[in-house]
Amino acid sequence: MVKKLLKDFKNGLWRENPIIVLVIGMCPTLAVTNTVENGLAMGIATSFVLLSSEIVISMFKKYIPNNVRIPSFILIIATFVTFTDYFLKAFFPDIAASLSLFIPLIVVNCLILGRQEAFASKNPTHRAIADALGMGLGFTWVLVLLSAVREFFGMGSIFGFELLGSWYEPMVIMVLPAGAFITLGILVGLMNVIKRRGN
């Protein structure tokens, strides 16, 4: 039992990692990873929505008619996103302002809808919780890694702390859109190398 839950949890961390293996949920991944703070906040917000909607959907899966399941899932997700949005605006206005459009866009993050369809609507609640935690954490660590690389090269700092002195000429391209694409491309390539070595 515990072993099975652990397996569901570990699935999202590496073997079926949403970003580097399944390549879903790309828009927030690329858009908000210009600083570590933004990347971490986005990861936590997405994980929260994923966890709460997986719990609700796995509990009510028997009552959701099969034909209208996708619209029902989206409505449940949209409700939790509205909640998250208002929560962030009330308690963390700075983060809400810098993530702006990408908080409401969690509604259409393929990762969340994909997990409802592939996992929560077929499995009991405790397994859905393990899956949501694993996937959420798997999403968050890639976001944090990506934003750390971009912030380090683009601004010479991590989490806003100046790491490199004034001698460092920041590579502005890294915090711009082009840098996001290139960094993620190289990161996925590196993961491919690690995976091949592992086999």
Partner 1 sequence: MEELRVVILVFISTVLINNFILVKFLGICPFLGVSKQVETAFSMGMATTFVMTLTAAATWLINTYILEALNLPFLRYVSFIIVIASLVQFVEMFIKKSSPVLYKALGIFLPLITTNCAILGLALLIPLNGYNFITSVVFGLGAGIGFTLAIVLMAGLRERLEFSDVPKTLQGVPITLIIAGLMAMAFMGFSGLISI
Residue with tokens 């997700």: 77
CA–CA distance, 106 with 16 (Å, rounded to integer): 20
Stretch that binds partner 1, among 10-18, 39-47, 130-138, 171-179 (CB under 8 A): 171-179
Within residues 92-121, the interface with partner 1 by CB under 8 A covers 101, 104-105, 107-110, 113
Give Cα separations from 87 to 4, 45, 72, 129 (angstroms). 34, 10, 23, 22
The set of residues, in sequence order, having a beta carbon less than 8 Å from that of 104 and lying 6+ positions away, is 81, 85
CA–CA distance, 199 with 173 (Å, rounded to integer): 35
Within residues 15-34, the interface with partner 1 by CB under 8 A covers 23-24, 26-27, 30-31
Stretch that binds partner 1, among 91-99, 129-137, 138-146, 181-189 (CB under 8 A): 181-189
Q: Is 64 in the site for partner 1 (CB under 8 A)?
A: no
Q: Rounded to the nearest whole angstrom, what is the least distance from the CB of residue 27 to partner 1 in the complex?
A: 5
Q: Rounded to the nearest whole angstrom, what is the least distance from the CB of residue 66 to partner 1 in the complex?
A: 15
- Which runs of consecutive H residues, i.e. helices, occur in 61-124? 69-91, 93-99, 110-115
Q: Is 133 in the site for partner 1 (CB under 8 A)?
A: no
Angle subtended at Cα 148 by Cα 145 and Cα 152, rounded to the nearest 5 degrees = 150
Binding site residues, partner 1, CB under 8 A? 23-24, 26-27, 30-31, 71, 74-75, 78-79, 81-82, 85-86, 101, 104-105, 107-110, 113, 173, 176-182, 184-186, 188-189, 192-193
